[in-house]
Structure 1
Amino acid sequence: MGRKTTLCTEFTFTLPRGFTDTQNRVHRHGIMRLATAKDEILVQQEPKVRENPAYGFLVMLSQVISRLGSFNSVSPELLEGLLLRDISYLREFYNRINQLGKPHIPTQCPYCNSEFSVSLELAGESLATP
């Protein structure tokens, strides 16, 4: 009998700054799941995305973020309140988990000119239980 493997579909993250709600509570810890084809279809059907294609990423994030702090769902409007640093982090995190791997950045030593790659690590990144 073959060994059963499970695919982890949810990943925890910690935003660099976090979302501050109306009661001045900061929400930094969250869970993001892998994106599906249905998520992409829902993004394309959103009227705001038709008006402004750049808004599509906020809609996609609202589909795949299943928790942010004490919020059990996240709307695009809530994500509009994040600082760009957090949006950049979420964009990179989204790309990383959906590409299933840590990107390796090719680089070169400035002293000996040796070429090697460095794994990109994001602060606060960890896996959630499947």
Structure 2
Amino acid sequence: MVQTEFEFELPHGFLAEDGTLHRKGRMRLATARDELRSLRDLRVRDDPAYLGIVLLSLVVTRLGDLEDLEAEDIERLFAADLAHLQHLYHELNGTAAPVCMTNCASCGARVEVPVGGGRLGES
């Protein structure tokens, strides 16, 4: 059986309008329809940087006791939480930036270094 939904915990949490802090949630794998739907969104057409916000609003299925999140909810995340979800999206959907192995200049340890990168939803 293929796992299509994954639990996560935000570093800071989403502060709802009623003052409730939501940290735990679920994200599902993105589909081609999600990517296409995001690209047709007028906000993305006006500002391509908005693509990640719309995509996350489609694939985050739960945040605390909140379901059916909107792009406006994702906009209200703290920057560290948004970065956390973007990283998780890339990891789950196989769109993470390629890495190369190198040696640390200071200690000589082998480390992975990201190469390139892009915005959420770009392969």
TM normalised by structure 1 equals 0.76
* More displaced stretch, 36-45 vs 104-113: 104-113
Shift of 1:90: 0.6
- RMSD between superposed Cα atoms in Å: 2.1
Query: Please, which of 6, 13, 30 is the counterpart of residue 11 of structure 1?
Result: 6
Query: Please, which of 39, 47, 50 is the counterpart of residue 42 of structure 2?
Result: 47
- Residue matched to 2:54: 59
Task: Give yes or no for contact 2:15–2:21 (8 Å, CA) kept in 1.
Answer: yes
Shift of 1:99: 1.2
- Residue matched to 2:72: 77
- Specify whether residues 110 and 60 from structure 1 end up closer, same or farther in structure 2 by C-alpha distance, changes over 3 A only: same
Runs of at least 5 residues in structure 2 that lack an aligned partner in the other structure: 113-123
Task: Give yes or no for contact 1:106–1:117 (8 Å, CA) kept in 2.
Answer: yes
Moved over 6 A (4+): none
Larger radius of gyration: 1
Runs of at least 5 residues in structure 1 that lack an aligned partner in the other structure: 1-5, 119-130
What is the alpha-carbon distance in structure 2 between the residues aligned to residue 91 and residue 17 of structure 1? 15
Give the percent of matched residue pairs that are identical in Structure 1 and Structure 2. Answer: 38
Shift of 1:106: 2.9
| Pairing 1:93–2:88 present | yes
Residue type of the alignment partner of 1:8: Q
TM normalised by structure 2 equals 0.80
Q: What count of residue pairs does the alignment treat as equivalent?
A: 111
- Residue matched to 1:22: 17
What is the alpha-carbon distance in structure 1 between the residues aligned to residue 4 and residue 84 of structure 2? 19
